């Protein structure tokens, strides 16, 4: 679920909750997704005693900066974070809990257990495999053109490749492509520089618009809104029988590497 706007909203949420300056006193983690290290828990056994000094993000990757090292967090498809108070009941699908020195705790909930958590020395090992963040100034139209113009895969698939540009997921890839009238099946190397320039702009507009909406609509606990792909604010309602917001034509779907693309057969040539 969480793409760039959702992860960024989580970062902002954590900062608003004033977790910076807090020290992690204890970690409760026990699930398959993080056992791929010597201590069997993503290196998290070394976390107690470390202080949180900041929060950053690249693409869908969230980093809690520590006084030594960095805590890498990836929400996968269904992950979400919550800052909890002592009296709060644990969330139903909490997989990892970080206890803080002010009695609060950060819970990572993830029904599907695809989230990732790991203690790293620095973010570099993860950032090194990523393209520029889609909202960073380094992601220019020229950068998109350079990274895409030699790819023969469908543009939809290329946009989901985090090593091309980091932060775009299935939803916003479809949103951006609809915005510029490009069919998801079109080979990336067949797009003109003009089209790619427009696509670059559409990507940023889609992400920024979503981020603003999410931040402005927290849930009853003050947590970032969870994007609902059927939500009215999305251009493309990902539901059978949905229609194009511009022309009313019934949307079609097509699979790319197991991911479903929604598009308007009339507006997206």
Residues 16-55: x/- map of binding to DNA (CB under 7 A)? ----------------x-----------------------
Residues 104-143: x/- map of binding to DNA (CB under 7 A)? -------xxxx--------------x--------------
- CB under 7 A: which stretch of 9-17, 164-172, 175-183, 192-200 binds DNA? 164-172
Cβ at position 233, least distance to DNA in Å? 11
- Short-list 228, 226, 208, 209, CA closest to 217: 226
Exactly one of 169, 179, 206, 267 binds DNA (CB under 7 A); which one? Answer: 169
138 C-beta neighbours (distance < 10 Å), count: 8
Sheet holding 52-58, edge to edge: 52-58, 61-66, 70-74, 116-120
86 C-beta neighbours (distance < 10 Å), count: 8
Task: Please answer whether residues 69 and 49 qualify as being in contact, where contact means their C-beta atoms are separated by less than 8 angstroms.
Answer: no
Cβ at position 46, least distance to DNA in Å? 21
Sign of the CA dihedral 62, 74, 105, 228?
positive
Number of residues counted as binding DNA (CB under 7 A): 39
Task: Please answer whether residues 171 and 211 qualify as being in contact, where contact means their C-beta atoms are separated by less than 8 angstroms.
Answer: no
**Which positions touch DNA (CB under 7 A)?**
1-3, 32, 59-61, 74, 76-77, 93, 111-114, 129, 150-153, 157-158, 160, 162, 169-171, 188, 226-229, 238-240, 257-260
């Amino acid at each position: 679920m969480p793409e760039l706007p959702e992860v960024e909203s989580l970062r902002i949420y954590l900062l608003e909750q004033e977790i910076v300056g807090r020290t992690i006193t204890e970690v409760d983690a026990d699930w398959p997704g993080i056992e791929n290290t010597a201590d069997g828990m993503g290196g998290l056994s070394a976390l107690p005693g470390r202080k949180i000094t900041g929060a950053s993000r690249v693409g869908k990757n969230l980093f809690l900066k520590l006084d030594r090292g960095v805590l890498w967090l990836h929400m996968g498809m269904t992950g979400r974070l919550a800052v909890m108070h002592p009296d709060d009941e644990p969330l139903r699908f909490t997989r990892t809990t970080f206890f803080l020195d002010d009695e609060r705790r950060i819970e990572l909930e993830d029904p599907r257990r695809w989230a990732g958590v790991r203690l790293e020395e620095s973010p570099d090992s993860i950032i090194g495999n990523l393209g520029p963040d889609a909202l960073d100034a380094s992601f220019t139209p020229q950068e998109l053109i350079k990274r895409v113009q030699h790819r023969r895969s469908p543009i939809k698939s290329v946009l989901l490749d985090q090593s091309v540009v980091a932060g775009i997921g299935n939803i916003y890839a479809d949103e951006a492509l609809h915005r510029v009238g490009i069919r998801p099946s079109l080979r990336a190397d067949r797009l003109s520089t003009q089209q790619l320039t427009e696509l670059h702009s559409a990507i940023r507009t889609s992400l920024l618009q979503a981020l603003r909406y999410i931040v402005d609509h927290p849930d009853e606990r003050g947590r970032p809104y969870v994007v609902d792909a059927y939500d009215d604010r999305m251009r493309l309602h990902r539901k059978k029988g949905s229609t194009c917001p511009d022309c009313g034509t019934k949307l079609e779907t097509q699979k790319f590497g197991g991911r479903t693309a929604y598009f308007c057969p009339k507006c997206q040539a």
